[in-house]
A and B are shown apart, each in its own frame.
Chain A
Amino acid sequence: MTIFAKAPGPGGNALSVKSNVGPPLLAIGCVLVASPVAEATPEEGSRFTVLRAPDTITVGLGAALPMFVIYEFPGPLANVTLGWDIHAHAQVVASAGAGALHLDGSRRYHGKLGAGVRGFPWRRGPLWGQLGFGLNGYVERTGIVLPERRVSATDLGAQLTADAAVGVAVCGWEVAVGFDFILVPTRYYTSYTGDESLPNRGMAVAWIGRQL
């Protein structure tokens, strides 16, 4: 569901596929973001009572190592994760994150809204594992100076991802690693026919978080 900066050039007929995928993708994203709120609604109120405040708020700083076509270097990543206790061993989490990636001649800014379930093998234990979904959007600018002209392009895109992460939390600090696996890729990766079905498989992430 790439939003076009300009009319698509050759190969732009993927547009129809893309706009079919767009609305359901957005809807899934919205439902996901809203779901922890709905599930965490206290039993005494109606569905419309004031949202319950999260039980935990964690802010994190880390790095993203995307497996894009041309990126090899990690970029900075910041995220905030809200958790609502639903069980002694489980939390529903919602998160928002943003980051940037840089290469000679290419810069990508990406943001993510995610939702998922975090499980604790030990009640209030230090270890946790998490599964979720995310809606990732990005803006990317590419530029090359050639003798004949300056080459540049801006690309806006969005992907639906499934993510898995594991972490350790002690004394209000957490260390976590995860992987965002691309479920619905941005349009440029949908027609690939080579040895791998998707060269842009996803993004490895790692962060250190502090519970507020």
Chain B
Amino acid sequence: MKSAWLSIVLVAGCVDYMTPDPRDTLASLPSDVPTPADNPTTPEKVALGRALFWDPILSGDRDVACATCHHPDFAYGDGLAVSVGVGGRGIGPVRATNLDAPRTPRNAQTVLVTAFNGLTLDGAVPAEEAPMFWNHRVASLEQQVFGPIKSDAEMRGTSIPEEQIVDVIVARLAGIPEYAVLFEAAFGAEGVTPSTLAKAIAAFERTLVPTDTSFDRYMKGDDDAMSTSAIRGMHGFIFQGCARCHNGPMLSDFKLYELPIPATHGGPEVLGEATGKFRTASLRMISRTAPYGHNGVFENLSEVADFYHNIPVTTPLLEGDVEPPLGGGDDLLAFFEALSDGAFDRTIPDRVPSGLSPGGP
């Protein structure tokens, strides 16, 4: 068998190696999560952060938790094109059945790997400056926490004004003895404040990093970690120019572009806003986080590949050689799978300190 194999190698000649531009290369994820100097991760903060992340007490009407839209069953996204917070029930696509409930303008990103947001081929940015959201409008996981809490469509609802909501929630938490204990364990005398609330949730989110994917294991030297198909997919991905933007350990350059993303998908329903400049999406965990695009217009990865294939060649952003085949092919999908098969924390708590239903009704 070995000699048959050898002769085949001889027939095939030596491997012809492509050497991509240094800006267009890919890399494994480092093991050290960037952490702000004033918020080192501790087990106490993570335990508190987990409780807060799952507790609908953080929403105006006590009906939506962070986990409602960032649920482990949907790889810490929600499986919806655009999210339904206030006015929805259940988890995942069923939330969309209440047509009167307000929609968020954009697709919910996964919270897996956001600990590394901003990490590019140039290295990591300080955790205090890590870009958040599709349009980078907020920096750091800590600051991000207040976005959904203040948003009327996501968590606040209409009963409490935006200026008051954070104080109302801090007061609610301070009034629950179990939270008082957890906050004291995590932050000592600082107690319950908007800042400690944000720090605890951010510390928990920094633990939501999947284990090494096939791609990471291969990059770190395990020759058997990636299938031939996935390697061919990686070659096609770089060869076709995708890595001009989707590069580095996050498969994102963390820059904003305006791609001609369609506004609607087939039917008459209008999804989120179609235009604007948005971040090169990280392709980590990509096979687990459908639908795709900032407005969720693509139902699956083949549709995304078709989008790139059919993009007008005159689109200045894509000048050069970005041309995936129609449908993307199995190789590309196998490569995407190799970027997505890391194991992650799927814990769904049985209860949260407020006594409300974890993740919302």
Contacts and interface: CB of A to CB of B under 8 A. Distances in A.
A8 B220 CA distance: 19
Nearest to A108: B12
A191 B27 CA distance: 28
A105 B228 CA distance: 14
9 contacts: A12-B227, A70-B236, A107-B12, A139-B12, A143-B15, A145-B19, A155-B232, A194-B305, A200-B329
Contact of B232 (A7, A139, A145, A153): A153
Interface of A: 5-12, 69-70, 102-107, 109, 139-156, 188-196, 199-200
Contacts of B230: 9-11
Contacts of B228: 5-6, 8-9, 142, 153-155, 188
A9 B227 contact: yes
Nearest to B324: A69
A196 B231 CA distance: 22
Contacts of A148: 27-28, 219-220
Nearest to A192: B330
Contacts of B25: 146-147
A4 to B, nearest CB: 8
Contact of A196 (B18, B327, B341): B327
B13 A146 contact: no
A118 B53 CA distance: 71
Contacts of A149: 218-219, 221
B334 A69 contact: no
A194 B14 CA distance: 34
Closest 5 pairs (CB-CB, A-B): A105-B18, A9-B227, A194-B302, A194-B327, A143-B15
B229 interface: yes
Given A143-B15, A145-B18, A188-B228, 9 more contacts: A6-B223, A9-B228, A106-B16, A107-B16, A144-B20, A155-B228, A155-B229, A194-B303, A194-B306
A149 B333 CA distance: 22
